[in-house]
Amino acid sequence: MGGSDAPALSDSDAKLVEDLLAGSHRALARVITRIENRAAGYRGIVAALHEHTGGADVIGITGAPGAGKSTLVDKLAAAYRDRGDTVGVVAVDPSSPYTGGAVLGDRIRMASNVGDMDVFFRSMSARGQLGGLSMATADAVKALDAFGKDVVIIETVGAGQNEVDVVRTADTVAVLVQPGSGDDVQTLKAGILEIGDVFVVNKADMDGAERTLAELEEMVHRRASPTKGLDGGHHGFEVPDHPDDGEGDGDDGGGDDEATEWTPEVLRTVANTGEGVSELIETFDAHAAHLHESGAIESTKRRRYAEEIRTLVRSDVGALATAEIERRGGIDALADSVRRRETDPYSLAAEIVDPIAECVEADGGDDGRPEPVDRDAT
């Protein structure tokens, strides 16, 4: 299972992967726990699951606290089950400053789905990331996808424009706004507007709903006109290009251009009663169909994996650098040597990074040897 260079699996982990793929909810829970704790061997497990992913529709639900995300996710899960879909929910809760765990824990908030084994709910820690998503959350989505869930819903913390993190994990993003929340609509202008495929005025039976709907409609139309032909992909949010992405080398058939044709919908719901939920699911389905028919889903996945690779490499190289710092006496000792003018930060950084760079260059061999890194350009 997995690629030829995938981390090796122990016999017990291979059995765990086998059980998950066979439909064991207990194995699924154990795998997600391993992923969240970053326990030994988790990378091999995720690598083995990767080839089994790609079948789920991944939906991100975001918005300011108090917008009713949890209640709406509950009703969405129940509606998906009514039509025969299996559902996985990853609810990203605020992190405890002491343990890093979810403050709210595995709270009982999926009241409509209690006892339904085909709705798998997991509350996870945001692990200090302002956007509410961590690599652990993305890996948990992969586990649910490989398990065979038809729909995976990610409910985020709701931290304003930093919710762009959800773009890297979800195929379709719904932004919830509650009526009369003028400040929240202003926040949308600051950044979160760009990531929404669907805007939902929840609690639409409250005063101010019509005004909030009108404001969102105006913002969506303003977004569609002045930026047309400029934004770079689904969500209308362009992840900056990097020379090593291979952008433009694929045969996606121009998915990026087609993706800009999607105009975000503005819908109303009353999550407590379920009003508007079926229309919201129809819109999610329409967006998913658009992504596949236009070819945009391929460019979206390419960006997502490019960002994931960068994140993992940065994390691993950072760990190597941290180990080298400790080998040299620790960061405080190095800072003291700079304070005493015995050296300078740039020289120390070069001393720590150069051995890593030399190993990378040596590993390249005579053919295709990497060019030395120009640190002044980074």
Q: CA–CA separation, 117 vs 325, rounded Å?
A: 48
Measured torsion, CA atoms of residues 233, 238, 242, 244, in degrees rounded to the nearest 10: -30
What secondary structure does DSSP assign to 285-348, as a single string?
HHHHHHHHHHTHHHHHHHHHHHHHHHHHHHHHHHHHHHHHHHHTT-HHHHHHHHHTTSS-HHHH
- Domains of the chain, by residue range, sit at 1-52, 53-294, 328-377
Q: How far is CA 341 from CA 96, 218, 285, 324, 361, in A?
A: 39, 58, 62, 21, 31
The whole-number pLDDT of residue 154 equals: 92
Q: Please give the helix or strand (H or E) that residue 207 lies within, else none.
A: none
How crowded is residue 104: how many other Cβ atoms within 10 Å of its Cβ? 14
Contacts for 92 with CB less than 8 Å, ≥ 6 apart: 102, 123, 124, 125, 126, 132, 133, 134, 137, 154, 155, 156, 157
Q: Give domain 53-294's CATH architecture.
A: 3-Layer(aba) Sandwich (3.40)
Residue with tokens 């350009």: 377
Q: Which amino acid appears at position 349 of this protein?
A: A
pLDDT number for residue 273 = 93
- The length of the chain is 378
Which residues face 121 on adjacent strands? 89
Q: What is the 3-state secondary structure (H, E, C) of 111-177?
A: HHHCCCCCEEEEEEECCCCCCCCCHHHHHHHHHHHHHCCCEEEEECCCCHHHHHHHHHCCCEEEEEE
Is residue 73 within 8 Å of residue 80, measured between CB atoms?
no
Residue 133 confidence (pLDDT): 57
Q: What is the per-residue pLDDT for 254?
A: 42
Query: Do the beta carbons of residue 88 and residue 23 sit within 8 Å?
Result: no
Query: Would you state the pLDDT for residue 124?
Result: 83
Cα dihedral 357, 363, 365, 369, rounded to 10, equals -40
Q: Pick the closest to residue 146 from 30, 56, 58 (CA basis).
A: 56
The pLDDT value recorded for residue 243 is 40
Closest CA to 43 of 31, 54, 52: 31
Q: What is the pLDDT along the chain (378 residues), one digit of tens a residue?
A: 555 566 789 999 999 999 999 999 999 999 999 998 889 999 999 999 999 999 999 999 988 788 889 999 999 999 999 999 999 999 887 654 444 444 444 444 555 555 568 999 998 875 545 444 568 888 999 999 999 999 999 998 765 545 566 666 899 999 888 887 555 666 665 566 777 899 999 999 988 888 888 888 888 887 766 544 444 444 544 444 444 444 444 444 444 444 457 889 999 999 999 999 999 999 999 999 999 999 999 988 898 888 889 888 888 899 899 999 999 999 999 999 999 999 999 999 999 999 888 888 877 655 555 555 555 555
Which of 148, 141, 111 has the alpha carbon at shortest distance from 124?
141
Packing angle, helices 296-327 and 135-147, rounded to 10: 130
Buried b (16+ CB within 10 A) or exposed e, 179-210: bebeebbebbeeebbbbbbbbbbbbbeeebbe
Residue 71: strand, helix, or coil:
helix
Q: Which two tokens stand for residue 42?
A: 């988790």
CA pair distance 208, 212, nearest whole angstrom: 6
